Structure 1
Amino acid sequence: MPDFKRPILIFFGGLLLLAGYMYQVEIDVSSLIGSESTASTAPILTDRIPDSKPNLVFVLADQWRAQEIGYASNTQIITPNLDKLSAQSLIFQNAVATMAVCAPWRASFLTGQYPLTHGIFYNDKPLATKAVTLGKIYKEAGYQTGYIGKWHLNGHARGENSSAGRNLPVPKERRQGFDYWKVREVTHDYNNSYYFDEENRKQTWSGYDAFPQTDSAISFISRNKKNPFVLVLSYGPPHDPYFSAPKEYQALYVAKKLVLRPNVAVEFQDSARRVLAGYYAHATALDHAIGDLLEAIELAGIADNTIFVFTSEHGDMLMSKGALKKQRPWDEAIKVPMLMRYPAKLKPGIVENPIGTPDLLPTLLGLSGIKIPKSVEGEDFSKDLVPGRDLGNHAALIELIVPFHEWKFLNGGREYRGIRTVRYTYVKDLKGPWLLYDNQTDPYQMKNLVNDPAHADLQKELEAMLQAKLRKTKDEFLPADAYMTQWNYLYDPRDSLRPKDYLMINRDF
């Protein structure tokens, strides 16, 4: 070939490759979605422009509350890797679990919908096989997809005991677009943990399961580093049982030396310190695993073009207000840590305004340059992820549609709807306004201002914001039984139906 023709062929060949790449980036997911999205693509917020579609690594802890992490000014917990990550990330100071309980959070994250839309407002109910989910959307856009760890979305048949569904493999057609598959529906036996692989073969995680799960994630990343991929790594800890972390991590904490939040009553403090020490041990073990994962991403040479998210599905009361675990509307249960690192587009900083669970999927899709399905109800905040920028007059919805398990009706559980703004928490139950806190002046939510004449105008404003949220989500705020009937659900045998005198139960605790 004459030398003068070679540059011309190379030039036009390059144009063809570029055109093919642009077609791939702008892939139309209409076959999956059915319509175009109104979402905008995120602007470039740093000087570095990614060379290809970004990878997504989404690390999910279970029951890790926002207050218990080093970068959140907690000096007694040991989380060096997450603290280092925070300096490279956007720190979401008010990441809010829309429904602070396991399966509903997961369904809202994967679909970008509110619980009354996707129907998972009670644990161990099945997410629809045809749901439009994160795994399906990214797969349609050309990504390799992987999921490792806890799933909790397959559910079980009507009338079947929930433990049966928790111990069975998830059929291939119900994996919501994820191909690489090392999953168990639910377990919290972290040292005797098994999973099912792609062919539903039963396998065992060796030792403390978070560590081999992380190794599996590193293997997936190593094999797919030259192609765009999305990986969800879903840990079980620091969810109870609180005292099952590896001994070397338990040895790091002396319960009697731990300082508690001021809203833990004196009579609960000894128990609270013991529980907190075990909880911290789990968290530090996870921090170690996350450090290994981050190192692997660096060694693979893909850190700049990888969206890395760390968060949790809900928090844990840990004896604040005399309660353990979740479902409650207080910050210990609804606020979770969240870090987002994407060096190619996002500069490190702090995002103060609340972001709710359904907002995560559209925001990730916006950052990835993927069209957002009309089925998604959350907001795409990708264009607003600039440190110090206000996300707008945004309030995150918090809700409990059906109380169950540890906060069932007979334990004082009740339906509620509320909002968490950057400063205030406002919550109603079926009897009317229930809670109002100024979280700036009262960060431990110890002074309920609801129906205080001095705050009447504020309460009216927050009530209007809540009603707007309920209208937008088509939520009539009915008693739990109405939604259980509507979705043809049965209460779990562990739970009690609503007592006849339910509305007379004392609400002031």
Structure 2
Amino acid sequence: MARRKNVLLIVVDQWRADFVPALGADFLRTPNLDRLCREGVTFRNHVTTTVPCGPARASLLTGLYLMNHRAVQNTVPLDARHMNLGKALRQIGYDPALIGYTTTTPDPRTSGARDPRFTTLGDLMEGFRAVGAFEPSMDGYFGWLAQKGYELPANRENIWLPEGEDSVPGATDRPSRIPAALSDTAYFTERALTYLKGKGGKPWFLHLGYWRPHPPFIAPAPYNTLYSPAAMPALRRRETWQQEAAQHPLLDFYLKGISQGSFFHGAGGAASELDEAAIRQMRATYAGLITEVDAALGQVFAHLDETGQWDDTLVIFTSDHGEQLGDHYLLGKIGYHDESFRIPLVVKDPESRLGAGRIEDSFTESVDVLPTILDWLGGAPPRACDGHSLVPLVQGRKPAGWRDHLFYEYDFRDVHYSQPETALGLSMDESALCVVQDARWKYVHFAALPPLLFDLERDPDQFTNLAEDPAHAAVVAEYARKALSHRMRHAERTLTHFRATPRGLEERTP
């Protein structure tokens, strides 16, 4: 009898890579993530291939670069023709369940202008079976609270504010009024355990999403005071935000335009005005939200242990993107900085324990998750997939010709909540950048703005742009060629391996 094979894909939101204890964040308490790192392989040089949430999740779940799936911003539709992980799993006999969200705007050609999904930030990606959806507009969670007997305020989002408050002035260690037992993290965990307990002995795939440590940066007790602001890592930024802004026009736009309000409900002022004490408090709250998620994962892991499923289950832990957390005076996930793009990835393969506890330094990208899951289950990735299976790396075998650099993209066209395209005098299709980055150099190419070049050995915080320095002209040329060659090698290729011949249709082996 074939061994049962299950997959647990854990996708947290806005968790950056340097907040993983196995990668050096020894100030954090995450015993369950620590266990996963001990039993699996932790990837040190892992990035999302794009930000923010919608585009990042589109890449994660299609295995395609932004340049190919073209769901380039939150609210921009995902073309229905693309294969995704949910659809691919159905082809090999799995019924893929999803808890959380994918922030996917549907293809308007499959619906109509009055479809209510076009009034929200994003909905669920086709192919998955929702068993604990957050979308649209968090209705699933708020309905769960009401069913539990919790009286919702007129403004439902005020549950994340301290008791008696309608706003907060900024970073705070006060707890949210919603108790931890009724938090969004608790909701997702209950949905996960309900799903798993209903599966019996059947094999399963579960996308288990958590909203945290996404803002608002207010944690329920006791997580609000679990960490001291003084214990948080130091900020990476220059003396003033104006010095940072001088680096590039896009950075100047964001430093002048990002409000604190999206991160602390009701707060005013620009993010660049936050002082070090406020940022350390924000980071302490962020760390508390991380530990809350970790405790929730412990409940899920315990169930898999108790039912004997831990040793049948591929567990992948990752995030959609990172978070600036005040570095470079920024909040959120934007632009070209490492804090937005470097994310955790841990893979625990129950069929390969030889690499347990290992830190893998190879360059890996979010587009690698889909082919990894399909490979482990005996399937094959779509021809168009831009990623590569990580199963060989997990098993300690680095494939010949593995990538020698990271590649990621960002599209900054206007959306209803941000208009950099208009402010910078660009057209919609000029509002884009891509990054080629290796251990030494980071090159940022813009479609219609000046490029950037950073020497990561001498300037790891990326303060000094060398792109205009004549002494580095050869490096700029070399990395611009790398960027162009990378894009050419990964151009859309769904049908390019077919050809007509006098004998009829022929399919070439890539």
Q: When the two structures are superposed, what TM-score results if normalisation uses the length of structure 1? A: 0.73
The verdict on how the C-alpha distance between 1:293 and 1:151 changes in structure 2, with shifts beyond 3 A counting, is: same
Counterpart for residue 497 of structure 1:
none
One-letter identity of the residue aligned with 1:382: V
Q: Kindly indicate whether residue 456 of structure 2 is the aligned counterpart of residue 439 of structure 1.
A: yes
Determine helix, strand or coil for the equivalent of 1:67. Answer: helix
Q: Which digits, 9 at most, give the CA deviation of each residue in 1:96-152, with x for residues without a partner?
A: 111121001111111111223223111123334453211121122122321011231
Q: Which digits, 9 at most, give the CA deviation of each residue in 1:301-351, with x for residues without a partner?
A: 122221101111111111111111012211100100111111213522122
Q: Kindly indicate whether residue 170 of structure 2 is the aligned counterpart of residue 219 of structure 1.
A: no
One-letter identity of the residue aligned with 1:473: H
Q: Which digits, 9 at most, give the CA deviation of each residue in 1:18-77, with x for residues without a partner?
A: 6xx6xxxxxxxxxxxxxxxxxxxxxxxxxxxxx34x311111111111112222211323
One-letter identity of the residue aligned with 1:232: H
One-letter identity of the residue aligned with 2:404: H
How many angstroms apart in 2 are the aligned matches of 1:105 and 1:385? 23
How many angstroms apart in 1 are the aligned matches of 2:370 and 2:456? 27
Counterpart for residue 3 of structure 1:
none
Counterpart for residue 335 of structure 1:
342
Q: Contact conserved, 2:105 with 2:118, CA < 8 A, in 1?
A: no
Q: Contact conserved, 2:442 with 2:454, CA < 8 A, in 1?
A: yes
The verdict on how the C-alpha distance between 1:238 and 1:190 changes in structure 2, with shifts beyond 3 A counting, is: farther
How many angstroms apart in 2 are the aligned matches of 1:261 and 1:376? 37
Determine helix, strand or coil for the equivalent of 1:272. Answer: helix
Counterpart for residue 304 of structure 1:
311
How many angstroms apart in 2 are the aligned matches of 1:56 and 1:359? 15
Q: Contact conserved, 2:96 with 2:128, CA < 8 A, in 1?
A: yes
Which of 274, 279, 284 in structure 2 is aligned with 1:277?
A: 284
How many angstroms apart in 1 are the aligned matches of 2:217 and 2:118? 24
Counterpart for residue 179 of structure 1:
129
Determine helix, strand or coil for the equivalent of 1:307. Answer: strand
Q: Which digits, 9 at most, give the CA deviation of each residue in 1:194-223, with x for residues without a partner?
A: 69xxxxxxxx99710111211221232233
Q: Contact conserved, 1:188 with 1:241, CA < 8 A, in 2?
A: no
How many angstroms apart in 2 are the aligned matches of 1:325 and 1:177? 29
Q: Kindly indicate whether residue 420 of structure 2 is the aligned counterpart of residue 408 of structure 1.
A: yes
Q: When the two structures are superposed, what TM-score results if normalisation uses the length of structure 2? A: 0.72
How many angstroms apart in 2 are the aligned matches of 1:176 and 1:149? 14
Unaligned segments of structure 1, at least 5 residues: 1-17, 22-50, 196-203, 476-509
How many angstroms apart in 1 are the aligned matches of 2:384 and 2:99? 25
Which of 193, 204, 207 in structure 2 is aligned with 1:232?
A: 207
How many angstroms apart in 1 are the aligned matches of 2:445 and 2:120? 33
Q: Contact conserved, 1:108 with 1:357, CA < 8 A, in 2?
A: yes
How many angstroms apart in 2 are the aligned matches of 1:362 and 1:332? 25
Counterpart for residue 293 of structure 2:
286
The verdict on how the C-alpha distance between 1:126 and 1:176 changes in structure 2, with shifts beyond 3 A counting, is: same
Counterpart for residue 6 of structure 1:
none
Determine helix, strand or coil for the equivalent of 1:94. Answer: strand
Give the aligned CA root-mean-square deviation in angstroms: 3.3
Equivalent residue pairs, number: 414
Counterpart for residue 486 of structure 2:
469
- Pairwise mapping of residues 441-456 of structure 1 onto structure 2 (< 5 A)? 441-456=458-473
- Pairwise mapping of residues 316-327 of structure 1 onto structure 2 (< 5 A)? 316-327=323-334
Please report how far the alpha carbon of residue 92 of structure 1 lies from its aligned counterpart in structure 2 after TM superposition. Answer: 0.9
- Pairwise mapping of residues 6-17 of structure 1 onto structure 2 (< 5 A)? none
Please report how far the alpha carbon of residue 159 of structure 1 lies from its aligned counterpart in structure 2 after TM superposition. Answer: 7.3
How many angstroms apart in 2 are the aligned matches of 1:328 and 1:187? 26
How many angstroms apart in 2 are the aligned matches of 1:223 and 1:163? 30
Please report how far the alpha carbon of residue 376 of structure 1 lies from its aligned counterpart in structure 2 after TM superposition. Answer: 2.1
One-letter identity of the residue aligned with 1:318: L
Please report how far the alpha carbon of residue 423 of structure 1 lies from its aligned counterpart in structure 2 after TM superposition. Answer: 4.1
Counterpart for residue 367 of structure 1:
376
Q: Contact conserved, 1:88 with 1:341, CA < 8 A, in 2?
A: yes
- Pairwise mapping of residues 97-496 of structure 1 onto structure 2 (< 5 A)? 97-155=48-106, 165-166=119-120, 175-185=125-135, 187=137, 192=142, 207-224=182-199, 226-243=201-218, 245-263=219-237, 265=239, 268-345=275-352, 347-348=355-356, 349-387=358-396, 389=398, 392-403=402-413, 404=415, 405=417, 408-409=420-421, 415-431=432-448, 434-474=451-491
Q: Contact conserved, 1:155 with 1:165, CA < 8 A, in 2?
A: no
Q: Contact conserved, 1:309 with 1:339, CA < 8 A, in 2?
A: yes
Please report how far the alpha carbon of residue 287 of structure 1 lies from its aligned counterpart in structure 2 after TM superposition. Answer: 1.1
Unaligned segments of structure 2, at least 5 residues: 146-158, 160-177, 241-272, 493-510
